[in-house]
Amino acid sequence: MMGLQRVYHRLSLLYFSPIPLPSTPSLLSLTPPLRLKLRPRNPLSFIKTSSMSSSRLQNLVPLSAMPAEDGGGGGSNGSISSSTTITTATEDEDSTLGVRYHLPPPEIKDIVDAPPLPALSFSPHRDKILFLKRRALPPLAELARPEEKLAGIRIDGDCNTRSRMSFYTGMGIHQLMPDGTLGPEKEVHGFPVGAKINFVTWSPDGQHLSFSIRVDEEDNNSSKLRVWVAEVETGKAKPLFQEPNIYLNAVFDNYVWVDNSTLLVCTIPSSRGAPPKKPLVPYGPKIQSNEEKNIIQVRTFQDLLKDAYDEDLFDYYATSQLVLASLDGTTRDIGPPAVYTSMDPSPDRKYVLITSIHRPYSFIVPCGRFPKKVDIWAADGKFIREICDLPLAEDIPIAFNSVRKGMRSINWRVDKPSTLYWVETQDGGDAKVEVSPRDIVYTQVAEPLENEQPVILHKLDLRYGGIAWSDDSLALVYESWYKTRRTRTWVICPGSEDASPRILFDRSYEDVYSDPGSPMLRRTHAGTYVIAKIKKENDESRYVLLNGSGATPEGNIPFLDLFDINTGSKERIWESSKEKYYETVVALMSDQEEGDLHINQLKILTSKESKTENTQYYILRWPDKKAFEITNFPHPYPQLASLQKEMVRYQRKDGVQLTATLYLPPGYDPSKDGPLPCLIWSYPGEFKSKEAAGQVRGSPNEFAGIGPTSALLWLARRFAILSGPTVPIIGEGEEEANDRYVEQLVASAEAAVEEVVRRGVAHRNKIAVGGHSYGAFMAANLLAHAPHLFCCGIARSGAYNRTLTPFGFQNEDRTLWEATNTYVEMSPFMSANKIKKPILLIHGEEDNNSGTLTMQSDRFFNALKGHGALCRLVILPFESHGYAARESIMHVLWETDRWLHKYCVPNTSNVDADPDTAKNDVNQGTTDSESKVLAASGGGSTEVSDLEHEESQFMRRSSL
């Protein structure tokens, strides 16, 4: 979210990732373009994307692609390659060898195989809705396609895109009628049968759709992407380029509408020959040197360049020729071939901000840190000027809030025709340096007069986090600081040098109860998005709309406030239902007129759901606030339509309030049926205060979305599921949270177990624990340090040995040498001899996530086996950090179901830990830490960071 003007509308690429394909409907964003740029992730989680409630972001997907790590090729429900054997097994006679893929029981399989609902996208004028059709899980054969691992990214050489790219299978356009109903579907047609559709984008005037097409055939050229354009009025599609040999290069950015009839496209250079061949005999040894004695600490980046051949191969696939292409068929090459990473037209469409990366490359950091050049070109391709040329950034400190030196976050002001703004650090990019100001925001027109210097817009003492623009009289500037969890929002008047900036909000972003919400944005005639200013009859005050999640001790109650920007007074003009339904404000729909919007002419898009009713979308109009339902999606898994869901609260022994969501099977009655086997699935989080850790997040009325690998699938197998129990790791004041990680982890788990047992829904001896990534790390630690709580565990794609991530992991920014005991004591690998309960390890063979190398599970399994632990390791061929292929996912479900029914339901484990011994072990420090580090390092491994779930890294230091 680097600047609120760059929000999900045309995200260039969205690939398979650890997030499973949702079965609930997805809504594509109504907001401005977010280029696929090599930029820092905005650390401010409190700034909501455009005007969308953060609680719904998990159900919103960018326009140009399907949700993460989920859907691949065509065919109903992911037809399986004939070369792959998959069976339904009721016996596990070959369980040790694992010689074939298995299917889970029908109760689970049928839910996972249910066809996904379409994704939606509204036209720029809000008068049409595009339904993008998709299929379910891809076959393993798609993941098995060759890929090049270069500079931190993975490339499909045949398609010249990122590898494992998902797609849509069809598109249908519906007119949004005045009464809120949808007109008949107009199918987009004219492209080949079986085509795979990507990067769907509306033209600025909403009259055309652009998208890419690929068709896999024997001829490799056919699998490359071609750009197509469809008339919205007729649905008729045709290729953008008349020449058949012009292909899209989608390794980075792909294309952008320069105006209503012209696109700027990244194409594969026509002069490009065959890929470079790897030399049989190397040119020389591989050498890395630090004779200058520079201090360079980097986390565990994967898929890096290894040698000169990799550098050449990266250039081969990433180099593009920019082409201006008009709808009338005329084309023109502009600029030289280069590794272009983003293209951003100015609001007046007269200029384009062009970003590229170039040599010298690096063997220790990914391409986001390569030398970067930013230029301004005229819309016709004429070079105007260079903005900056940043050097290679290998030395960004690992401390949170550290950033790249020089200009960063270079953007167009969305409220001006062609004015740039950017930020420059004053601390050398090092968050440990104390300086005031820390960041300065500058602004300058695209073509300044000779010797005209940039204007200082604002100075910040915390780290810059984005700007929401309105006009010369109003903009909101955000800053934050990870160590203190502090966030501040400034009100500035960009057009007035005399008006002093003032702080609007100054709070802890961990304190969700005090979150005032984020300003809703409106679309301008230029197609950009600015803060919507609201007016009332006979009232001269300046109002904005603040859209908030409304966190309360009873759960989230989203709201819409009319906020006086001058006085700070607010009036609640809309609020979600509190009893049965959970509603959110998704976007502003009445933004077609210039100037301030009248309160009585508001029209907003909302979503509505309940525990058992799928998400639907509504148009809500003022002043009567009458809602019109515009969707009627069926329940994605009717067999669980009557599941029971409750948000529960309980207390840790140190007084910290905890929450969790308890799910029970349909028709279950604890008084009649007795306690059930229970699966606890969670993910730890770090906090600076007990008060913030104890706050309630989420709503008891939200629909229970069930992904392909969700723990909720075991509701169909009559399990109680305690989902997401908070596991806060708190470090107050100068204390670091991880210094008491094990102690707090066990205390949270004990409280969760006691709560489900107290309620009579879980059998004390039949409680399993599981998690993915950092949740797997949690599960392994709990089996080591709290074996009295659980009968077995499931750990997927985790990291277990922190000495293999010595320069920080997750939210730990101290090095192994600065916090040796912490690294050692947190590592379940070091406590493998204490794990006596059955543990199932699952890992993708091609895991590309920082820190969670596949060898983490390999080594952990060997350590467990070396101590006679009851354990099982499943390595999934071709899978990454999250699992995508139908065969893999079905097998993961089979493995998990088998494990739970063998070691949880009957609880036949013949090893019972002494509860007193286990509890006493929690508080015992590790002795001889240094020797353990040496023993575990595996011969001087230099692997570094973990960063397991990106969504938990909202304060990660900017590294690009």
Residues with active-site annotation: 773, 847, 881
CB–CB of 578/552 below 8 Å?
A: no
DSSP characters over 495-545: T-SSSPPEEEEEEETT-GGG---EE-EEE-TTS-EEEPEEEETTEEEEEEE
Using an 8 Å Cβ cutoff, are 163 and 145 in contact? yes
Integer Cα distance of 721 and 668 in angstroms: 13
CA distance 843 to 856: 9
Q: Which residues contact 334 (CB under 8 A, 6 or more apart)?
A: 264, 322, 323, 324, 377, 380, 381
**547 close to 585: Cβ distance less than 8 angstroms:** yes
Tell me the two tokens of residue 392. Answer: 């290679």
User: Rounded to an integer, what distance in angstroms lies between the CA atom of residue 468 and that of residue 477?
Assistant: 7
Strands 521-523 and 529-531: antiparallel
**Number of residues written out for the chain:** 960
- Cβ count near 20 (within 10 Å): 22
Give the H/E segment covering residue 142.
helix 140-143
Nearest residue to 851 (alpha-carbon basis) of 891, 818, 811, 895: 811
How far is the C-alpha of 823 from the C-alpha of 815, rounded, in Å?
A: 9
Quote the tokens at residue 948. Answer: 């397991």
Non-local CB neighbours of 420 within 8 Å, separated by 6+ positions: 353, 376, 387, 410, 411, 412, 413, 443, 444, 445, 446
Which H helix or E strand runs over 658? strand 657-664
Q: Give φ, ψ of 592 to 5 degrees.
A: -90, -20
Q: Which residues of 732-763 are buried (b: 16+ CB within 10 A; e: fewer)?
A: eeeebbbbbbbebbbbbbbbbbebbbebebbb
Angle at 109 between CA 104 and CA 112, to 5 degrees: 130
Q: Are strands 351-357 and 372-378 parallel, antiparallel or unpaired?
A: antiparallel
Buried b (16+ CB within 10 A) or exposed e, 899-932: bbbbbbbebebeeebeeeebbebbeeebeebeeb
Q: In angstroms, rounded to a whole number, what is the distance separating the alpha carbons of residues 453 and 469? A: 22
Cβ-based neighbours of 580, under 8 Å, separated by 6 or more = 610, 701
Helices 915-922 and 774-785, packing angle to 10 deg: 120
Regarding beta strands 486-492 and 502-508, do their DSSP bridges make them parallel or antiparallel, or are they unpaired? antiparallel
Of 680, 666, 785, 782, the closest CA to residue 718 belongs to: 666
Torsion angle of the four alpha carbons 31, 32, 37, 42, in this order, in degrees rounded to the nearest 10: -60
- Which residue has 């696109």 as its token pair? 263
Q: Hey, what amino acid is at 923? A: N
Reduced to 3 states (helix: H, G, I; strand: E, B; else coil), residue 717 is: helix
Nearest residue to 390 via CA among 44, 838, 40: 40
8 Å CB contact between 893 and 874: no
Q: Which two tokens stand for residue 241?
A: 């380029």
Q: What are phi and psi of 721, to 5 degrees?
A: -120, 120
